[in-house]
Structure 1
């Protein structure tokens, strides 16, 4: 019952935001507000992580676990989509553009990591008793975040019909989900004391680090929430670096490695390296993945096998 309630708390503001029309002049303000809210959530997650007993002893375990999880997910993703691009080629009319957008995106990722470290440092040296439980504050911020994400999806100017009738986008989303689940299963088999259901839950973040960290923290504790977040941030870094390289021969793989971020954060890199013809696929794929991620994370984290 509790997990069903969690799912409703996630989906209701997401779909409510999608039903709210956003004037064109307000879209830039919406994007700015969403960025600052993500920074706030990462700061609060850092505060929550600072409360973990013997955190220093956990850091080595966190680093190793993130590395194994990331390699499992990226390898299964790339192998499947490189095969798909070879079997069903997709030719783009590419264009050469400046790489400034990619540089800005990487700087954005560094800012996100800095916010987490700032919260971790502040929580270690200062008392935030006036704030109460940081996790409770994160949960409240999550509802606002999902509402804004829904509004951002609406502001893309596309209909659900356009999303779900993009055949390659739907196939790409299905293959990405299967590849991620396979990577999560592989992770569970490689790591001791990690159940299959936990491995599948961790594999369903799809790069949505602000959401995956919260859900995994509620289900498995702050350490596993940080593992989910760093894994998804690693996907973001990897995507920004390798999208231009993969786009030349494996465009579907290039779009897919960003996961949920293909709809927003890595979209400029996709457009810069693949041209405007790559954007509809990225939007369709990213939209479906954004809707799928919270459902699968809550579903698998509610199981125990």
Structure 2
């Protein structure tokens, strides 16, 4: 956990002080780095000879995990409106990003630049906090709860942390949960914008 946090902080400082030297698109490097990590997670999962048997033993209720995660996130967004100067529809729409900061920021920027900025920051903080707290949640609370914290990022950027903090079976559940949420988010945000007339 400390190593991950240090890597993020060092990267931020390096990016800040050497930004003029980075002419290439760093997003491409991040994307291929992520593919590289996911490839090795796949190898790690594949090495487990008992994976199919272990998955069969899991309660079928885990299939509902992404849906419970989404409902909880939206409920959290509704509660957040009590403490913020935003309306409840706005906080629910922001929370519907589920950690997918790039998509939610672009979609909600169509409503207002301010809301798009809030969506970007809140969802990027969700991802960063997930990276920091997943090892603790997995150890002290539960493995499935650590998957929920990640939201949409459970299938990509946060998957290596979940894999290291839990097990191969939970990594597969994590990928499934993140995939379902990532499919729903692009449908959910526009629907909420229309329902709430934002």
1:251 corresponds in structure 2 to 143
Q: If the length of structure 1 is used for normalisation, what is the TM-score? A: 0.46
Distance 1:109 1:199, change over 3 A: farther
Q: Does 1:184 align with 2:184?
A: no
1:141 corresponds in structure 2 to none
Q: Does 1:228 align with 2:128?
A: no
**Structure 2 regions of 5+ residues with no counterpart?**
21-27, 43-58
Q: Does 1:281 align with 2:173?
A: yes
Distance 1:275 1:238, change over 3 A: same
2:64 corresponds in structure 1 to 171
Whole-angstrom CA distance in 2 between matches of 1:271 and 1:107: 18
Whole-angstrom CA distance in 1 between matches of 2:177 and 2:186: 15
Give the superposition deviation at 1:110: 7.1
Q: Does 1:237 align with 2:132?
A: no
Q: Does 1:107 align with 2:7?
A: yes
Give the superposition deviation at 1:172: 1.0
1:210 corresponds in structure 2 to 102
Distance 1:244 1:227, change over 3 A: same
Alpha-carbon contact 2:150-2:158 (below 8 Å) kept: yes
- Higher Cα Rg: structure 1 or 2? 1
- What's the C-alpha RMSD, in Å, of the aligned pairs? 3.2
How many residues align? The count is 163
Whole-angstrom CA distance in 2 between matches of 1:229 and 1:181: 16
Distance 1:301 1:108, change over 3 A: farther
Whole-angstrom CA distance in 1 between matches of 2:189 and 2:10: 26
Whole-angstrom CA distance in 1 between matches of 2:9 and 2:175: 21
**Structure 1 regions of 5+ residues with no counterpart?**
1-98, 123-144, 158-165
Alpha-carbon contact 2:109-2:116 (below 8 Å) kept: yes
Matches within 5 A, 1:136-175: 167-175=60-68
Give the superposition deviation at 1:191: 2.9
Distance 1:262 1:211, change over 3 A: same
Whole-angstrom CA distance in 1 between matches of 2:159 and 2:166: 10
Whole-angstrom CA distance in 2 between matches of 1:274 and 1:109: 25
Query: Any idea what SS the aligned residue of 2:105 has?
Result: helix
Alpha-carbon contact 2:5-2:132 (below 8 Å) kept: no
**Bigger relative contact order, structure 1 or 2, given CA contacts below 8 A and separation 6+?**
1
Give the superposition deviation at 1:198: 1.6
Q: If the length of structure 2 is used for normalisation, what is the TM-score? A: 0.69
Whole-angstrom CA distance in 2 between matches of 1:267 and 1:246: 14
Alpha-carbon contact 1:207-1:235 (below 8 Å) kept: yes
Distance 1:227 1:110, change over 3 A: farther
2:197 corresponds in structure 1 to 304
Alpha-carbon contact 1:168-1:281 (below 8 Å) kept: no
